[in-house]
């Protein structure tokens, strides 16, 4: 990770954590336990990648990161809700995440489901408040909400979850159909919310249509690269650093490595990073953080 990217991630993390802390203070008329359950997972040690993308997307379009931190917090809430629901016994049935007990292990299944529901709902309230604070016009305010919902919904993240469940214990053969299936899962499961983060920042900063299109294309490439790198790390990564066991092969999961082998998967990741860089050219030095991020995504060791 470059020093520039490291400093930027730390700065946005601190800023968004302050916003999250304030937003997740107890509200009147709200049961205490649900707030505790929401806070538990929100402050369980995420990298705040999505808030960073909101900030960087805004800066590419001439905006300021501090003006979009609430929407960064909203995207982090959506990401966190998806982790809580994914970990449930009916889904991936995970007892640990980042070395900590998962939400339902601490608060019980019922409260974990409701904490996820609460975070997803609150995210839209926060984003709408951010639109209002930035004095967005009606069209842009509606567009901001549409971007979040489309990225998180059935054609985005939720759809990716469903497709991922379908692809478990995959028994097909390598080939164009398998490649399309794998790409469609990751485009929705990971890239959709990454793209929504970048575009939300752009809309809040008054970005143009072409600027938003470029950030979408960048997000798509970086999101896929992130998943290819994940598949590679699952095979070659340091289990201690990753905080998880390489379980894809055991589960006969459809991954880039199971499909192509290590060497071609690495080439694929590099190609995607190069495509991401190309999209950023017109932004000049404003896009320095996003350039560094595209490289980091495929060279990280955890």
Task: Tell me which residues touch its own copies (CB under 8 A).
Answer: 27-31, 33-35, 38, 81, 85, 88, 90-91, 108-111, 113-114, 116-118, 120-122, 124-125, 127-129, 131-132, 135-143, 145-146, 148-150, 152-155, 158-159, 161-163, 165-166, 184, 187-188
Among residues 108, 27, 111, 43, the alpha carbon closest in space to that of 77 is found at 43
Question: To the nearest whole angstrom, how small is the minimum distance from the Cβ of residue 122 to its own copies?
Answer: 6
**Closer Cβ to its own copies, 32 or 284, answer by number:** 32
Element (H, E) at 2: none
User: In angstroms, rounded to a whole number, what is the distance separating the alpha carbons of residues 209 and 246?
Assistant: 41
Shortest reach from residue 20's CB to its own copies, in Å? 15
Q: At closest approach, how far in Å is the CB of 123 from its own copies?
A: 8
Q: What is the CA radius of gyration of the chain?
A: 19
Name the one residue in this structure whose structure tokens are 């030095």: 285
Min dist. Cβ of residue 23 to its own copies (A)? 11
Indicate the residue among 10 and 93 with the shorter CB distance to its own copies: 93
State the minimum distance, in angstroms, from the CB of residue 263 to its own copies: 30
For residue 57, the minimal CB distance to its own copies (Å) is 19
Beta carbon nearer to its own copies, 129 or 217: 129
Closer to its own copies by Cβ: residue 108 or 282: 108
- Residue 200 or 293 with smaller CB distance to its own copies: 200
Per-residue 3-state assignment (H helix, E strand, C coil) for 66-131? HHCHHHHHHHHHHHHHHHHHHHCCCCCCCCEECCEECHHHHHCHHHHHHHHHHHHHHHHHHHHHHH
Q: What is the dihedral of CA 49, 54, 56, 62, to 10 degrees?
A: -170
Closest to 9 (Cα-Cα) out of 290, 302, 295, 299: 290
Rounded alpha-carbon distances, angstroms, from residue 269 to 31, 59, 98: 46, 26, 25
Q: Nearer Cβ to its own copies, position 164 or 231?
A: 164
Cα–Cα distance measured from residue 58 to residue 76, given in angstroms and rounded to the nearest whole number: 16
If the CB atoms of residues 110 and 240 are measured against its own copies, the closer one turns out to be 110
- DSSP 8-class letter at 29: T
Least distance between its own copies and beta carbon 287 (Å): 27
């Amino acid at each position: 990770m470059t020093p520039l990217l490291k400093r930027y991630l730390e700065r946005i993390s601190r800023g968004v954590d302050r916003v999250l802390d304030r937003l997740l203070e107890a509200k009147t008329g709200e049961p205490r336990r649900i707030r505790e359950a929401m806070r538990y997972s929100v402050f369980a040690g995420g990298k705040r990648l999505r808030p960073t993308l909101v900030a960087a997307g805004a800066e590419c379009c001439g905006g300021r990161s501090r003006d979009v931190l609430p929407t960064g917090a909203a995207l982090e809430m959506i990401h966190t809700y998806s982790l809580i629901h994914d970990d449930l016994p009916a889904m991936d049935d995970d007892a640990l995440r980042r070395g900590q007990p998962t939400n339902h292990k601490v608060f019980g299944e019922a409260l974990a489901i409701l904490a996820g529901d609460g975070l997803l709902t609150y995210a839209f309230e926060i984003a709408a408040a951010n639109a209002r604070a930035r004095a967005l016009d009606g069209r842009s305010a509606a567009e901001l909400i549409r971007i979040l919902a489309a990225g998180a919904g059935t054609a985005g993240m939720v759809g990716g979850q469903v497709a991922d469940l379908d692809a478990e214990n995959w028994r097909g053969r390598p080939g164009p159909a398998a490649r399309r299936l794998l790409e469609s899962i990751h485009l929705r499961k990971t890239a959709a919310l990454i793209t929504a983060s970048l575009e939300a920042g752009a809309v809040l900063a008054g970005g143009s249509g072409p600027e938003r299109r470029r950030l979408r294309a960048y997000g798509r490439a970086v999101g896929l690269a992130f998943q290819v790198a994940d598949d590679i790390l699952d095979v070659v990564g340091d289990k201690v650093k990753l905080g998880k066991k390489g379980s894809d092969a055991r589960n006969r999961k459809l991954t880039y490595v199971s499909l192509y082998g290590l060497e071609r998967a690495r080439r694929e990741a590099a190609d995607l990073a190069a495509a991401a860089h190309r999209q950023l050219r017109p932004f000049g030095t404003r896009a320095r953080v996003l350039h560094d991020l595209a490289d980091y995504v495929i060279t990280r060791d955890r």
